[in-house]
Copies of this chain bind each other. A is one copy, B any other.
């Protein structure tokens, strides 16, 4: 018989950031209700964590890894809404979409996640409004980021779009001027909203101009100021 204790433990729940945040607002005993029915899972690069249009049964606390939020439209074209790295709480937006996942979430690197049952969380949050407000702030923060991302892409041309994507990855995902991309050129283009070839051309151009150093998946920002200027003028 598989009991809670015998389940795979990828990491220790006691040091989990979601627990630490939660226990600022709710009792430890309450959190243990959540913990008991939560499942730790590992996802390999490329696997889907949440599927667009499926019933939203779980929230996901991403403990380790990087994920992309994407939607597929009628014309089978993919659009990446945003990219997020651990630690972060994902899938919350679906709570407000009649319980249907608005978009898919894919592992872009190997991920370790904790799946939290929505009904249990909802029940606890309903009896503790400041906890609820905190969760909502996290959830709407993601919305906000996606919107800001779209705005910045909407009126820019490809130079600006690619600059934006590189700046975003550097600042918000890898926290460094030098990083090894976990996204393919195709995925970059789905994030930037242009053709794959256009991303490749632009990266090569930035490389030649000494703004970036690009060698396959290895990227270094050599002239951040110039990159930001390109992002601003579009």
Tell me the A residues contacting B by CB distance below 8 Å.
71, 73-75, 77, 79, 81, 93, 96-97, 102, 126-127, 129, 132-133, 136-137, 140-141, 143-144, 146-147, 150-155, 193, 232-234
Contacts and interface: CB of A to CB of B under 8 A. Distances in A.
A85 B137 CA distance: 26
A193 B153 CA distance: 10
A83 to B, nearest CB: 15
Given A74-B232, A96-B141, A79 B126 contact: no
Nearest to A129: B126
Contact of A150 (B75, B140, B147): B147
8 contacts: A79-B151, A81-B147, A96-B144, A126-B129, A129-B132, A140-B140, A140-B143, A143-B143
Interface centre among A96, A132, A153 (most CB of B within 10 A): A96
| Identical copies of this chain, number | 2
Contact of A97 (B73, B144, B146, B153): B144
Contacts of A193: 154-155
A150 B154 contact: yes
Contact of A151 (B71, B127, B143): B71
Contacts of A232: 74-75
A40 to B, nearest CB: 28
A133 B136 CA distance: 10
Contact of A140 (B71, B96, B152, B234): B96
A75 B141 contact: no
A155 B196 CA distance: 12
B136 A73 contact: no
A75 B126 contact: no
Given A75-B233, A143-B147, A96 B136 contact: yes
**Most chain B CB atoms below 10 A, which of A75, A126, A234:** A75
